[in-house]
Chain A
Amino acid sequence: MSTTSVPRFVRADGPDKVTGSGRYTADLTLTGTLVAKFKYAEVSHARIARLDVSAARAIPGVFAVLTQDDVPDVRFGPFVQDRTLFARDVVRFEGEIVAAVAAIDVPTAQRALNAIVVEYAPLPVVNDIEAALAADAPLVHEGWSQYGAADVLVRERNDASFASIAKGDVERGMAEADTVVHSRYVADGCHAAPIEPRAVVAQWEGNKVTIWTTTQVPFDARAGVCETLEMPASRVRIIVPHLGGGFGGKCGFHYEAHVAALAKATKRPVRLVFSRREEFIAPDRRREGIVFDFETGVKADGTIVARKVWLAIDNGAYTADAGFFSQLAAMHALGPYQVPNALAEAHLVYTNHQPSGSVRAPTAPQTCWALESHTDEVAKAIGMDPVAFRIKNAVATGKEGPSGQVYDEIGLVDCIEAATARAGYGDDLPDDEAIGVAIGWWPSFSAASGAYVKIDGDGSGQIITGAQECGTGAVMTLRQLVADELGMQPEDFELVYQDTSAAPYDMGATGSQTLFNNGRAAIAAAGQIAEQLKQLAADMLEASPADIVLADGAASVAGTPSRSVPITELAGIAAGGELLIGHGSGVPPAAQEVSGATCIGDVGMTAWVAPQFSCHAVRVKLDRDTGVARVLHVSTAHDSGTIINRIGATGQVEGGVMMGIGQALTEGTRYNDEGQQRNAALLEYKLQTCADAPPIDIHFVEINTPNAGPRGAKGLAEAPNVATAAAIANAIAKIAGTPIRQLPMTAERVWETMNTEGSPA
């Protein structure tokens, strides 16, 4: 699929996954395991008038039926503590858990669910993001003002987090502009849709619980269990078997506590495995819908002088990790442009929909889609080529971005030039084809992270890491970093990972941070062993440790390769004395201080460490008779710093692009008037398939990034998902003669737009 040639890199988990010998959570069977099932609200907003589980409890084979009355009465949530494990008094979305059952088998569990009596008194359904902001809109949370919440959040009624970024004087800027372009866009919510549905298995021994679960963030899952079941971290162990994809959807704390509570109540191991429908409706992690309003003022020569953005994000019924989305979306809405006068205002709005949460580059693809569609409208309004317009206004080395951050070495303009040249931008095309171009950005997340490395007496090593592999290959790459540090081979190291009781903390497979932070930790841990090996070799070879070089599995004296000792021999010596054990964490790179913009609701999203940039140029063919768009070719250029594992990096770009095509054309949640999902199934929620994959050209702009991750690496897992939908939109708009104002740009919406009166096509 890609044109990049990549060196061979065998993933440590590859053979297991490819041959089927690997074990996933749902594969685990412990003696006496019971089946867990949840009773969901099914209605979007109602007061619970009556909840009676006694008949369900009386069914033979039913071991436990739990409700909120059976667990500690704790409200939780990382930003706003607005949620309980089970519904308490009110249900606020169809996938809210009212009760949980543990039974001997699936039919018995199903019978128990049917025997649970719930009566609801309906409450008004908040189904529309903008209407929810009205002063007299019904409240999703009557008691919002009493909830605990992060101090920085600015909250008011249905607005769970308001953020603004203001720079210069936007009104004066608009007044100075020769042309002001105004646009409105609406992005529907969509899903991470990992192929492996969620599963959780819990087993107690004494007062300790072990939970095997499909999480992307084991330590976060542990923290959630500790908080809601009121236990110390030391008594909760989270283990993640192989994870079958996550795409952000498996970030956060989900059902670990429910299953642990069932296992405790029944004194048996309990297993939960989601159906595809549950996977669609229940988790508090789906990509948020957003409504956008843009205004940009430009000079006749194409200089942006002012930009004003208003946006409202669908938070859904509870604030999962979406508390930082307002400010992040505000950054994406201003975009990687030099904007001297800027004002962005963003709201995170409660509705009676499934809660939103981090899905691969949260807020970015849809905001990039809206901003970059608007950007093409601006360029068109002043008769300027959209690529030239971007090059003129894009942030660049030494230039100031919309939040006041002045960027050191960055390669955005290189990305624009490379992607468009490789796409053949400007060449003649048939009249039903066009190339659309978009640019995107994404931060690297700097965070604490830890790893151990040890080498045993036989010279084989282990990397024991808190990092989580969600399929990207980031954890796999640790072997390469550690091996390079020690002059050994990646195959010399086994990975011990995804076990909170074995390894030190890591944030998990989230924020594209694994290699960025855990790579640093693993290198630091390996560095300690390197020092030990050099000392041992120096003693043997009668040299100074500073002159010892570790390479090709041996320690030798610099400049005298004949004076050398194999590392396995040194490992044997160490095994009888001071063991080869290293631990590392390293100091996370700090974000630049920014000045020049004032922010309300500041959650630290305006100054980015080692920001990543991208440009996608996509050739699209549009069937004017039906509105069906087909992506013929995608050309990508990414500045993600140094590329360490090229085959892994290539896979991330391919996957990000395919997800972007789906978001652009076919993936979007449809709600009925009651706020329930109409397409919570893979037949009606259309992911892209292999047969839809176009050729994807992949180019990396590798420049020397200061203040980055290991060897100058930035993150990469989310960035490739940012600009694809936007580039497709700009191609479609060129052919259709007008932008499509709702995402996904389904065939019917394209056709409708082209056939609406007043449309130029």
Chain B
Amino acid sequence: MSFTIATTLDEALQALATGARPVAGGSDLVVGARHGKAPLPEHLVAIDRITELQCIEVTDAGVCIGAGVNHHIIEHHPLLSNAFAGLSDGSALVGSPSTRNVGTLGGNVMNSSPAMDTGSPLMVLGAEAELRSLRGSRRVGMAELWTGPGRHSAEADELCVAIHIATPAPRSNSAYLRLEYRRSMEIAVVGAAAAVTIADDGSVSAVRVALTAVAPTIIEVTGIGLGSVAEVAAAAAAAASEQARPISDVRASDKYRRHTVGVMARRAVEAAARRALGEPVSVPVNRAIGIGAAS
């Protein structure tokens, strides 16, 4: 058993190359081990003190979010919560204030749970994960990264160093909602994210929708036709309910999940469209509209 505290990326990559597993906030890894999900790895390398993983870099082309950035920062970051609002919606729902202060984007992505709250926003935003090892660096899209519940396609020596998201087209924005039974310390029963672009005539000219907790991984909904916001929202709802492959468990039946994921998809399209049109819909959408609104 060993525990290395890396202060540079290089130290971390060295440790990974010799078989250590990274721990960032530990809010999945350590909590999971305590609950008997999987024993703690023999060799751990802590990556939370590596400054290179903490940066948020904005260029005309897009944004690069370090894997070590925590959910609290993503929730409140002025650029992210405006231009990439769906991602901030997701981060803002994670656990409780203390979970958001320790849990990182990289940890959420690499934990690869089908219920992860940043998953479908990243999918609809076309995000890519930058994976680095001593052997080099590569970028993979989300659909390619996530291969099953708790499984991803990165090699054991690869560290996720950043998430890259291209700047959306003008009059575009995103939103993420989840079905929750309480307002904190919750896990998505189902969730949906949408990214939409609004044409000059007010119709939807591009739409992407992804779903949370209805399949072994986050999945993207296909075949949603374009049209008015209402038409696209309805089409997204129907397609989401149809394409979902939910299970029945103690949280919900498959039937209820199939229905509600459609509701989430419709609302995500509507909220994303309102944001794309410049209407302020505050982060997270779950608390801004509908049942979650303040009163």
Contacts and interface: CB of A to CB of B under 8 A. Distances in A.
Interface string A622-642: 110110101010000000000
B139 interface: no
B169 to A, nearest CB: 30
B148 to A, nearest CB: 21
Given A621-B291, A623-B291, A747 B183 contact: no
Given A623-B291, A630-B291, A670 B181 contact: no
Nearest to B97: A691
Interface stretch (A324-332, A488-496, A676-684): A676-684
Contacts of B182: 666, 686, 688-689, 691-692
B260 A691 contact: no
B263 A626 contact: yes
B7 interface: no
Given A688-B182, A689-B185, A692-B182, A623 B290 contact: yes
A625 B261 CA distance: 11
B250 A625 contact: no
Contacts of B291: 621-623, 626, 628, 630
Contact of A747 (B96, B181, B187): B181
A628 B250 contact: no
A628 B253 CA distance: 15
Interface of B: 96, 179-187, 250-253, 256, 259-260, 263, 290-292, 295
Contact of B250 (A621, A632, A679, A691): A679
12 contacts: A622-B291, A623-B291, A628-B180, A630-B291, A665-B181, A678-B250, A683-B185, A691-B182, A691-B183, A747-B179, A751-B256, A752-B256
Contacts of B290: 623
Nearest to A744: B181
Nearest to A678: B250
A518 interface: no
B162 to A, nearest CB: 30
Which 8 residue pairs across A and B have the least CB separation, nearest first?
Answer: A623-B291, A691-B183, A691-B184, A625-B263, A748-B256, A689-B184, A678-B250, A679-B250
Nearest to B266: A625
Given A621-B291, A626-B291, A670-B250, A751 B181 contact: no
Contacts of B185: 683, 689
Contacts of B260: 625-626, 751
A134 interface: no
A18 interface: no
A100 B261 CA distance: 47
Contacts of A748: 252-253, 256
A626 B267 CA distance: 12
Contacts of B251: 684
Contacts of A688: 182
Given A623-B290, A684-B251, A692-B182, 19 more contacts: A621-B291, A622-B291, A623-B291, A626-B179, A626-B291, A628-B180, A628-B291, A666-B181, A683-B185, A684-B250, A689-B182, A689-B185, A690-B184, A691-B96, A746-B181, A747-B179, A747-B181, A751-B256, A751-B260
Contacts of B183: 689, 691-692
A690 B19 CA distance: 42
Nearest to B257: A748
Nearest to A690: B184
Most A Cβ at <10 Å: residue of B179, B184, B251, B291:
B291
Contacts of A626: 179, 260, 263, 291
**Most central of A632, A679, A691 by chain B CB within 10 Å:** A691
A621 B292 CA distance: 10
Residue among A665, A678, A689, A748 having the largest count of chain B Cβ atoms under 10 Å:
A748
A683 B189 CA distance: 12
Interface string A374-416: 0000000000000000000000000000000000000000000
Contacts of A683: 185, 187
Nearest to B291: A623
Contacts of A665: 181
Contacts of B184: 689-692
B179 A628 contact: yes
Nearest to A681: B35
Interface in A740-758: 746-748, 751-752
Nearest to A621: B291
Most chain A CB neighbours (cut-off 10 Å) among B179, B181, B290, B292: B181
Interface in A720-754: 746-748, 751-752
B256 A632 contact: no
A366 B233 CA distance: 40
Contacts of B179: 626, 628, 747
A680 B276 CA distance: 43
Interface in A288-302: none
A342 to B, nearest CB: 38
Contacts of A625: 260, 263
A670 B252 CA distance: 12
Nearest to A685: B250
A246 B260 CA distance: 36
A692 B184 CA distance: 8
Contacts of A686: 181-182, 186
B264 to A, nearest CB: 8
A193 to B, nearest CB: 13
A486 B274 CA distance: 68
Contacts of B186: 686
Interface in A90-112: none
Interface string A687-720: 0111110000000000000000000000000000
Nearest to A672: B250
A416 B74 CA distance: 47
Nearest to A694: B295
Contacts of B259: 751
Interface in A120-140: none
A751 B182 CA distance: 16
Nearest to B190: A626
A678 B263 CA distance: 27
Nearest to B251: A684
A275 to B, nearest CB: 10
A686 B252 CA distance: 13
A746 B96 CA distance: 22
Contacts of A746: 181
A633 to B, nearest CB: 8
A691 B286 CA distance: 13
A621 B293 CA distance: 10
Contacts of A691: 96, 182-184
Nearest to B293: A621
Nearest to A752: B256
A683 to B, nearest CB: 7
A747 B263 CA distance: 14
A679 B250 CA distance: 7
A235 B96 CA distance: 47
Residue of B96, B250, B251 with highest tally of chain A CB at under 10 A: B250
Nearest to B292: A630
A462 to B, nearest CB: 40
A622 B291 CA distance: 7
A626 B257 CA distance: 10
B181 A632 contact: no
A176 to B, nearest CB: 45
A679 B251 CA distance: 9
Interface in A546-603: none
Interface in A218-267: none
Nearest to A662: B182
Contacts of A751: 256, 259-260
Contact of B181 (A621, A628, A690): A628
Contacts of B256: 748, 751-752
A686 B180 CA distance: 11
